Structure 1
Amino acid sequence: MTDDRQDLVLTHHASEAARPLLDALCEVYADAYGVEPLAEKTSAFRGRAERGLGYAGFELVTAWAGGALVGFAFGYSIPEGNTRWWQGLQPEPPAGFTVETGTRTFILTEIEIRQSWQSQGIGKRIHDELLSGRLEERATLATNPTAAKAQALYEAWGWERIGQRPGMSTDYFDAYDLFLRSLGKERPR
C-alpha cells in the first residue's frame, strides 16, 4: 500500500484556472476549521477568495493526493498605490515602507490544509512552492492576534512580526498581526 502523503502533486493556478476550484477550496477550508461548508466562516472565506481572484498577480497552489484536494495556498500582489493593507499599522513603519508599485509586495492571503493532513509538513511545502516563484521583493500576511500557534509556525518559516493594524469593517477580526518576509528579489529604485 502506498502512502498518498508521499505522492503529493502541487499545481499552480492563475485566476481563470482557479475559479472552477472555488467549491473545492471552500470544502478544504471548512474541513481545516472543522465547520460546515455552508457556515458563516466558510461564506466569508468564499467572499475573500472571489475578491482575490480579481487581483493582478493572483496565484493558487493546490496539493492533491490520490485525486483529492488536500490543501492550498493563494495570494496576490498589492496593487500600485494601494496602502490599505498597511493602514493603521503600529508601530508606525519607516518612510517609504508602505509604497506599493504593483510588484513590490505579495500578500499570502490563505493557506489551508484538511485536518487529517495537518502536521505532515504539507503546509510548508505548499507555502514554499507558492513563494519560490514570486517576483515581488517581499511577502506579507495577517493573522488573528490570538493565534499563537500559527504565529509561531510562520516565524519558524522565516516570517517576522512587524506590528498590528486594526481590522476594517468587512474584516473577520477587529485587529490583525502583520508579518513580513523578504523574497530576496530587491529591485533598484
Structure 2
Amino acid sequence: MTSKHVSLTHHDAEFAATLLGELGDAYADAYGVEPGDEKTAAFRRRAEKQFARPGFALVTARAGSRLVGFAFGYTLPAGDTHWWGGVQPEPTVEFLEETGSRTWVLSEIEVRRAWQAKGVGRALHDEVLGARGEERATLATGPDAAAQPVYESWGWQRVGRIPGDEGDYYSAYDLFVLELPVSR
C-alpha cells in the first residue's frame, strides 16, 4: 500500500475535537506505545489546547475507514511569542517578528507504523502546508529525532535550538523553518 491508497481530508477545529480518540490511537501506533500511556496522554492534552488556537487546521489520511495518519497545526499570534523564546543562535529581530499571519506551526505529523515510508507523511505534509496562506511554517523536534533528515529532504532548514519547558518530553528542541507556499 502507498499514499495513492489513502484519502486526505481537511478538518476544522470543531470536527478535530470529535476525532481526538482516533488521533490518539494513531499517535500511539506511530510511536509504538500503548494508547493510554503518558506520551499519548500528553499528546491529547497538547492537541486539545491547539484545537482552540487561531488558524488551526487538521488533515487526516484514511485507508478506507481507518485513520492511518494526520497532520495539524496553528498560526502563531501577533507580537511576542513563546515559540521563539531562547532560540540559539539568536536570529534577527525581523526573523522573530510575528504578525498573526506570518508563521504556521506544523505541530504534529504522525503516520501509523504500517504506513510509514510509503509516502503518507509527505502527502499529509504537502496537503496541510499547501493550503496555508502564511509566509512560512515552523516545527520543533527533539535534537536527535529520526525525522530530522526527512524534514531536511523536504526543504526544511534548521534555524536553532530552544530549551524545553519543565515537563516537556525533551530538554531542548531543534526549530526548523520552511518558506511557503509548498507546491502540492
TM over 0.5: yes
**1:36 deviation in Å?**
0.5
**1:10, 1:103 → 2: CA distance?**
25
Tell me the alpha carbon deviations over residues 2-31 of structure 1, each in whole angstroms, 9 at most, x when there is no partner: x57533110001100111000000000000
Shift, 1:78, TM fit: 0.4
| CA shift for structure 1 position 169 | 1.9
For residue 153 of structure 2, what is the amino acid of its counterpart? Answer: A
Distance 1:154 1:4, change over 3 A: closer
Distance 1:104 1:120 in 2: 31
Aligned residue for 1:86, secondary structure, equals: coil
Moved over 4 A (4+): none
Q: For 1:74, which of 58, 72, 75 is the aligned residue?
A: 72
Question: For residues 89 and 148 of structure 2, what CA distance do their matches in structure 1 show?
Answer: 18
**Paired residue total:** 182
Deviation (angstroms), 1:67: 1.0
Residue 158 (str. 1) matches residue 124 (str. 2): no
Measured against aligned partners, the alpha-carbon deviations of 1:57-79 in whole angstroms (never above 9, x if no partner) come to 00000001111100000000001
Which whole-Å CA distance do the structure 2 matches of 1:164 and 1:100 have between them? 18
Percentage of identical aligned residues:
56
Q: Structure 1 residues 128, 184: CA separation in 2 closer, same or farther (over 3 Å shift)?
A: closer
Q: Deviations over 1:40-94 (max 9, x none)?
A: 0000000110011010100000001111100000000001114210000000001
Gaps of 5+ in 2: none
**Over residues 110-169 of structure 1, what are the superposed CA-to-partner deviations in whole Å (9 max), with x where a residue is unaligned?**
00000001110100000000000101000000000011x310000000100011010112
Match of 2:132 in 1: 134
TM-score normalized by structure 2? Answer: 0.95
For the 8 Å contact 2:105–2:138, the answer to whether it is kept is yes
Name which of structure 1's ranges 150-159 and 162-171 shifts more when overlaid on structure 2: 162-171
